[in-house]
Amino acid sequence: MAELEGSAGSAATDRQMPSQPGNMPPGGILIHFRTAYWTEWGEHVAVCGEGPAFGDWDVTKAHWLSCRHVGEELLWEGLVPIPSLQEFTYRLAVVSEAHEVLKWASERHTVVLPNGLEEGAIVDVDEVWTDEGHPSLMLARSAFARVVWRNRSTASDAVVSRLQPLPNEVVARFQVHDGVLKEGEAICILGGTAQLGNWQLQEVMVMSPVASSCWEAEVRLPLSSLPCTYKYGIRRTDGSLHLEAGENRMVALPANDGTHPPAVVARFDGCFRRQQRWRGAGISAPVFSLKSAQCVGAGEFLDLVQLVDICAGTGFSLIQVLPVSDTSVRGTWRDSYPYSALCVFALHPLYLRLQALSDDLPADIRAEIEKARVQLEGVEEGVDYEGTMQAKQRIARAVFDRGGAADLEGEEFLRFKEANWEWLQPYAVFLVLRRLFGTGEHWRWGDLSRPTQEMLDRLSSPSQEFFPSIQFTYWVQYHLHRQLLQASKYAASRHVALKGDLPIGVDKCSVDTWLWPKLFRMDVSTGAPPDYFDPNGQNWGFPTYNWEEMAKDGYGWWRRRLSHMAQYFHAYRIDHILGFFRIWEIPGDCCSGILGHFRPSIPLSRQELESHGIWDFDRLCEPWITDELLQDVFGAELAPEIAARYLQEQVGGRYRFRQAYSSELALASVPVRRCLAPDSPPEGAEDVRKGLLALRQNVVLLRDAEDPNAFYPRFHLNTTSSFKALEQRWQDELLQLHHDYYHHRQESLWRKQAHRTLPALMGATDMLVCGEDLGMIPACVHPVMKELGLVGLRIQRMPSEADAKFGDPLTHPYMTVASPSSHDTSTTRAWWEEDKLRRQEFYIEMLNGEGEAPQQCTPAVLEHILQQHMDSPSLLAIFPLQDLLPLSPRLPDCPPAKQQINDPTNSQHYWRYRLHVTLEEMAADADLRCLLADMLQAAQRYHGVAQSTG
């Protein structure tokens, strides 16, 4: 075969290609690779795979292809000599000059070779480059697809027959992916030769499913028939045929260069080209918010069964819930916060269905359950978290003590125990030790703060007096597992996917930080910089992750966590996906998020700052406090008292905080009432506290805790009076450095960090992965999410475009979720009614309204907004139940302001929202279900399933 040319547009032009055809092993064959891919300067396409010829999966030894322009494509191709084998496996990659993988093609391919190929035979491998994150592939491989698309086709029992090449013929092998097939549909191939049906629809060749979503066919083609065109199609049981979109595909021989033609042509054709992409819709609701005739105090896992029926009968394909892990950290209502896990593997006892603990509950226990249910249903404010937990723990323990313990001898429990022992035993022991020590701060437990297997075995042995408590914990988790698994399997049977939520953090007082302390940075906290939700940033109180330590075992903790989650869910949302690019890390003595910095990040060095003429680091890192500023913040009368109590005067009329008050945490608990007159209003004390915190935050640079010569610009440093007191030249230089730190210099670092962490999560299970990518978004985030095949989130009132007032659902990318609101925002109706100016702008610009907008979000206005989201190109349109129920004229109404699940600006928020109607009432509202079904059908998102009668 002739020498392959390089391209003037590629650094590969003058590069010596390794493993040239002259290195043919005895009895070997030649593999001719081809793929079309547009690279950037300095990038190359390489073939990596099994065996020395392909580098044994070592990309530094991979075979680099050459490139040339063919029409409007950049064609990469190359010859790889290999010994005679039964099969070989390879994967294409884009690599840098430094042999770093910049991008992998979608998957590994295994080419099975015919028996008895002659020495020097040529196998032509022509691959349509498909990105790893191609939407069709990501969706087709997911558990979500198997549930929602109802296609149960997997690898067929019959192996695709492997043909032997004959004289003047070539064996043509075709492979294509499609996972959106329904029951009774099959992929077929039709083309311009007799063997492919001569374009006669009744003569199509049906392909075989060789793997999940992958179809293959093999046929002998006369050399004289090539080149020939073909297309893939979908054949249905009724005999109808639907051909794919786009131009005809072509199978052709390599250019005639004097060599003999190939014996085999393998076409890896990527994905079936559909005229229209699948789109679906879902409902979001925290499990605790559900209300039914059986639940006690809060929604329960088995309430999802009724919600599944409502979704399936209306045409919705998915139910999204908030995290369901145990968050019982403090034993108070503050544990209602679902994102602060006590143990990421344990399920929350709040969701336990008491009536399902036994088929034969004693009458007095049934009466006690009903009494608790009636009492807790009467709480108008929503979930009484503490009352519900107390009632469920008390009643569950009574069931356990009166015969429930017998479950622990059954085979089903023993299987559960064996599968979950790694976390179940430590979790049960942790609960006992927390009760004994009176605190979950395990670092205060002396020798027991460092658990060993011997210690866990000893403390959980039958000889211990608290052994019944250990067993009770096992039993509760077993029943929670059974109930959630029952709901999940039922959802799958109705073709409704369950979408879980993966919190970004764990509580410092958690089982996970106790068991695996090296995985966490316990002296700092996780949060978010100032944003739409909170101008002071957020401090979530979680430790940050030690990614370097996690990488040592291939992110095993994450993989175990997600595998556990995949028992119940078919998709999940990564809370704060930005944390896998970089996290906002806050010193442990802070209570707000404003004094944090990004980790990882490239700080400003002392040398860099000095090169810009910046040198007075103590001035820039210490709070800037003067008499004038004290009077501005506290007034002339109170300023001297504040200075005397909390500050020390320095040279030059400046002050610094006394050591006892030098941190946000200290100031947050300071008894400021002493500074005020006895008759001052209560809000005066809070104003003083806010003023003191503002003084502490009045800095320009933050010194790195581990390197005194590294600094971080304080977020929005230009808003501080410390910055405004600097000379203009310093202001200009610091603003430039601030902008560079937050918007430019970190992009490459964060991209690499995400490519290290996110694939480990995504590869752990087959759940469809979505990411919450709201807030301050670095430029690298959306491209990386696209490359990896992650589904993003779009909230209309929080546009991802910096210069837009509102997002336009009709312009959303396909791999997104379109939602009018979320658990972190007010509902659509509440937002409409609370912001008059934006309401009017939205009414004119997004709804094409005329005149003054209605003061209330009427059902007609709400329907218009929801229909916009349903009409979007987004893969999924997901709606909080609070945004759907007001469409019903039959159901009772609820004030919109009472329907918000979370207030992100309030770190002490009580997560207690409950629906004001029951699931039974929703199911009985046929008018609402018909309206929603009609809206989904109009948007081509309807995927309803009739109720099974079996």
Task: Give the pLDDT confidence of 324-340 residue by residue, as tens digits.
Answer: 999 999 999 999 999 99
Asked if residue 682 has pLDDT above 80, the reply is: no
Strands 241-243 and 280-284: unpaired
**Residue 6: predicted pLDDT:** 37
Asked if residue 229 has pLDDT above 70, the reply is: yes
Bridge partner residues of 626 (DSSP): 654
**Residue 451: predicted pLDDT:** 97
Q: Please give the model's pTM, rounded to 2 decimal places.
A: 0.91
Is 662 within a domain? yes
Kindly state the percentage of the chain with pLDDT values over 70.
Answer: 93
Using CA atoms, how far apart are residues 720 and 725, in angstroms rounded to an integer?
9
At 318, give phi and psi (nearest 5°): -155, 145
Picking from 208-217, 369-378, 909-918, which range would have the lowest pLDDT averaged per residue? 208-217
- Confidence tier at 881 by pLDDT (50, 70, 90): very high
Is 374 in the same domain as 266?
Answer: no
For the domain that residue 370 is a member of, what is the CATH number? 3.20.20.80
Q: For residue 325, what are the CA distances in angstroms to 345, 413, 484, 499?
A: 7, 20, 12, 14
Q: For residue 349, what are the CA distances in angstroms to 325, 515, 893?
A: 9, 21, 30
Is 320 within a domain? yes
3-state secondary structure of 615: coil
**Quick check: bond before 227 cis, omega within 30?**
yes
Question: How confident is the model over 733-759, as pLDDT tens digits?
Answer: 999 999 999 999 999 999 999 999 999
- Confidence tier at 151 by pLDDT (50, 70, 90): low
Is 127 in the same domain as 139?
Answer: no
Asked if residue 18 has pLDDT above 60, the reply is: no
**Residue 15: predicted pLDDT:** 38
Is 948 in the same domain as 901?
Answer: yes
Six-digit token string for 772: 């919450």
More confident residue, 731 or 259: 731
| Cβ–Cβ under 8 Å, residues 862 and 854 | no
For the domain that residue 137 is a member of, what is the CATH number? 2.60.40.10
Q: At what angle do helices 747-762 and 556-565 cross, to 10 degrees?
A: 50
Is 490 in the same domain as 616?
Answer: no
Is 267 in the same domain as 163?
Answer: yes
H/E stretch holding 912 reads none
Question: How confident is the model over 777-802, as pLDDT tens digits?
Answer: 899 999 999 999 999 999 999 998 87
Is 41 in the same domain as 147?
Answer: no
Place of tokens 């994967």: 91
Domain span at residue 285 reads 279-502+817-822+875-950
Asked if residue 5 has pLDDT above 80, the reply is: no
**Quick check: bond before 759 cis, omega within 30?**
no
More confident residue, 148 or 671: 148
3-state secondary structure 272-335: CCCCCCCCEEEEECCHHHCCCCCCCCCCCCCHHHHHHHHHHHHCCCEEECCCCEECCCCCCHHH
- Confidence tier at 257 by pLDDT (50, 70, 90): low
Which residue in 621, 597, 581, 588 sits closest to 528, CA to CA? 597
Asked if residue 311 has pLDDT above 50, the reply is: yes
Q: What is the mean pLDDT of residues 495-509?
A: 96
Asked if residue 165 has pLDDT above 90, the reply is: no
**Residue 831: predicted pLDDT:** 95
- Of 255, 274, 293, the position where a domain reaches its end is 274
**Residue 27: predicted pLDDT:** 62
More confident residue, 85 or 902: 902
Q: What is the mean pLDDT of residues 26-36?
A: 88
**Residue 26: predicted pLDDT:** 65
- Confidence tier at 258 by pLDDT (50, 70, 90): low
**Residue 509: predicted pLDDT:** 98
Using CA atoms, how far apart are residues 904 and 600, in angstroms rounded to an integer?
25
Number of domains in the chain: 4
Using a 10 angstrom Cβ sphere, with 0-12 exposed, 13-18 middle and 19 or more buried, the burial of residue 240 is exposed
- In the predicted model, what is the mean pLDDT of the chain? 92
Q: What is the mean pLDDT of residues 815-834?
A: 95
Question: How confident is the model over 565-601, as pLDDT tens digits?
Answer: 999 999 999 998 999 999 999 999 999 999 999 999 9
| Cβ–Cβ under 8 Å, residues 321 and 310 | no
**Residue 118: predicted pLDDT:** 87
Is 745 within a domain? no
3-state secondary structure 685-740: HHHHHHHHHHHHCCCCEEECCCCCCEEEECCCHHHCHHHHCCCHHHHHHHHHHHHH
Is 555 within a domain? no
Picking from 172-181, 241-250, 326-335, 528-537, which range would have the lowest pLDDT averaged per residue? 528-537
Q: What is the mean pLDDT of residues 801-820?
A: 93
Is 579 within a domain? no
Q: For residue 769, what are the CA distances in angstroms to 165, 325, 789?
A: 43, 18, 8
Using CA atoms, how far apart are residues 577 and 561, in angstroms rounded to an integer?
16
Using CA atoms, how far apart are residues 611 and 363, in angstroms rounded to an integer?
81
Q: What is the mean pLDDT of residues 860-878?
A: 97
Kindly state the percentage of the chain with pLDDT values over 90.
Answer: 81
Is 646 in the same domain as 614?
Answer: yes
Is 240 within a domain? yes
Q: At what angle do helices 385-401 and 363-377 cross, to 10 degrees?
A: 180
**Residue 531: predicted pLDDT:** 79
Asked if residue 679 has pLDDT above 70, the reply is: no
Most confidently modeled of 1-10, 282-291, 885-894?
282-291
- Confidence tier at 674 by pLDDT (50, 70, 90): low
| Cβ–Cβ under 8 Å, residues 917 and 290 | no
Is 262 in the same domain as 324?
Answer: no
Backbone conformation region of residue 445, classed left if phi is above 0, alpha if psi is from -120 to 50, else beta: alpha
- Of 241, 274, 307, the position where a domain reaches its end is 274
DSSP class of residue 105? B
**Residue 3: predicted pLDDT:** 33
More confident residue, 670 or 20: 670
Place of tokens 């005229």: 275
Is 297 in the same domain as 441?
Answer: yes
Is 800 within a domain? no
Is 659 in the same domain as 612?
Answer: yes
**Residue 904: predicted pLDDT:** 86
Six-digit token string for 938: 């109009």
Six-digit token string for 182: 């329904």
Q: For residue 885, what are the CA distances in angstroms to 308, 866, 945?
A: 16, 12, 21
Is 868 within a domain? no
Which residue in 939, 928, 645 sits closest to 818, CA to CA? 939
Six-digit token string for 703: 């010194």
Using CA atoms, how far apart are residues 312 and 493, in angstroms rounded to an integer?
10
DSSP, residue by residue, 442-486: GGGSGGGGS--HHHHHHHTSTTSTTHHHHHHHHHHHHHHHHHHHH
- Confidence tier at 159 by pLDDT (50, 70, 90): low
**Residue 1: predicted pLDDT:** 34
Using CA atoms, how far apart are residues 830 and 856, in angstroms rounded to an integer?
9
Place of tokens 């694939």: 759
Q: Which residues make Cβ contacts (< 8 Å) with residue 887, sequence separation at least 6? A: 859, 862, 863, 866, 928, 931, 932
| Cβ–Cβ under 8 Å, residues 513 and 443 | no
Is 303 in the same domain as 431?
Answer: yes
Q: Is the dihedral of CA 393, 398, 400, 401 positive or negative?
A: positive
Using CA atoms, how far apart are residues 485 and 475, in angstroms rounded to an integer?
15
Is 218 in the same domain as 325?
Answer: no
Q: For residue 416, what are the CA distances in angstroms to 14, 217, 411, 564, 823?
A: 60, 42, 9, 12, 33
- Of 81, 107, 132, the position where a domain reaches its end is 132
